[in-house]
Amino acid sequence: MKKSLLRRMLYSLIYLLYKGPFFIMFESSFIKGELSYLSREDFNIWKHSICDMIKEFWTKANIGFNQRKIIYSFCYSHIRIIRKTELCDKSIPIVVLCVKNDIRRIQMLVDHYRKLGVVKFAILDNESNDGTFEWMLSQPEIDLYQCSNPYQSFVKEGWINRLISYYGFDRWYIVTDSDELVVYQDMEKKSISTLTMRLDKSGIKRVKALTLDTYREGPVFQKAENIRNDYRWIDSDSYYVTYRNAGAYRVKRFIGGPRYRLMRTSVSLDKHPLVYWEKGTISDNAHYQFPHSSIDEAPCLLGILHYKFLDTDIEVYRKRAQKNSPFAGKGEYYRRYMSFFYKQKQQSFMYNGSIEFNTSEALKRISLIKWCLPS
């Protein structure tokens, strides 16, 4: 107990020593270029909020190296604005993501959110060379950004924060990846702005989602002519609640799905993709935002269709499984994916609990998703 207390006191002291250099870094970026587009008020909010996030990790006796990467990425990533248009209505979320070489899924994603009523996308392209950038440039709803810095998961969080900083606080955002589609009750009849207006009336600022890995009836990694039609199967009953750390908090997390069922990879399936970005909100993890005290308050009203096992993914995952990849922290997961692919005689995710996701009615079959939107 005494050792733990002394360690926390020591890390709090180290944080105070580092706080000065962090502030100098922010001020330098604000005065000399990278963050000069911000107002002084907004700049101070971002600066103090990110430092508050770092402080939470350090006072929990955690050096917070990954969180420091977010600061460097936010301040010093050379992000080029290719196209940025006027803001849309605040009730319509802006879809925010980063992408590299994923033209088929990005086309599917944009089509999906257009049908939900989204009119603006803010997408950072990380040096695509497969036509992704050119296709996005041809789409007027996409505000387009470029960055050539090497990808790393916490570097990406810095990029996400930068993208959001271009549009400001006190509005709704959907923070996602190119292989994810947010789905919700009655989405075929109710636009995403209908949902956010209901959330506003209920005082809900963040919404949790359960990630639903999609798969086809046959073997994984097979070519799909139509991704949405071929990869229409999901698990209905293989999800579990567990608890894990988020900063200084112990919070409820979800695991399960075919990756846990067949490969024993306990990757977290909970995400907070729909967020009303208040002052002080920071994207510090692919699954949730700071302040971490709000994580368990968010109701699970959404699903995320996750298209992770397409034919084009196998070579990508083979590279990610290598120890020197930017995904080294998740390398064991990718090694298990590859092992399943090479060793299983029947490389199928199908089981007795598989259900088709043809409409949002399928969400009723999944107990972790609350089938009752705010009225």
Structure confidence at residue 73 (pLDDT) = 95
Q: Do 197 and 70 form a contact (C-beta atoms < 8 A)?
A: no
Question: What's the pLDDT score for residue 21?
Answer: 79
Q: Is the peptide bond before 150 cis (omega within 30 degrees of 0)?
A: no
Q: Which among 286, 341, 346 has a CA at the least distance from the CA of 309?
A: 341
Task: Please tell me whether residue 210 adopts helix, strand or coil conformation.
Answer: strand
Looking at the fold, whether 74 and 211 belong to one and the same domain comes out as no
174 domain-assigned: no
**Tens digit of pLDDT at every position of the chain (375 positions):** 556 666 666 666 666 667 777 888 899 999 977 999 999 999 999 999 998 888 887 766 565 678 889 999 999 999 999 999 999 899 999 999 999 999 999 999 999 999 999 999 999 999 999 999 999 999 999 999 999 999 999 999 999 999 999 999 999 999 999 999 999 999 999 999 999 999 999 999 999 999 999 999 988 888 888 999 999 999 999 999 999 989 889 999 999 999 999 988 889 999 999 999 999 999 999 999 999 999 999 999 999 999 999 988 888 888 888 766 666 566 778 888 888 877 765 678 999 999 999 999 999 999 999 877 666
| Whether residue 300 sits in one domain with residue 157 | no
Amino acid found at 134: E
Examine the domain organization and report whether 54 and 141 are in the same domain: no
- Write down the pLDDT at residue 374: 65
**CA 40 to CA 44: how far, in whole Å?**
6
Q: Please give the tally of structural domains in the chain.
A: 3
pLDDT at 67: 84
The DSSP string of 305-342 is EE----TTHHHHHHHHTSTTSTTGGGHHHHHHHHHHHH
Tell whether 35 and 74 lie within a shared domain. no
Among residues 63, 88, 116, which one ends one of the domains? Answer: 63
Quick one: 131 and 257 in the same domain?
no
With respect to residue 10, please indicate whether it lies within any of the assigned structural domains. Answer: yes
Q: 106 and 44 in one domain?
A: no
Answer yes or no: do 156 and 78 share one domain. Answer: yes
The range of the structural domain enclosing residue 220 comes to 179-375
pLDDT of amino acid 54: 84
Residue 266 located in a structural domain: yes
User: How much is the pTM?
Assistant: 0.93
β strands within 142-295, DSSP E: 142-146, 172-175, 180-184, 206-213, 233-235, 239-246, 249-256, 270-276, 282-283, 289-290
Whether 86 maps to a domain, the answer reads yes
Domain termination residue (choose one: 119, 147, 167): 167
Q: Are both 229 and 286 inside the same structural domain? A: yes
Mark which of 43, 63, 83 sits at the end of a domain. Answer: 63
C-alpha torsion sign, points 32, 36, 42, 45? negative
The two most distant CA atoms of the chain are separated, in Å, by 61
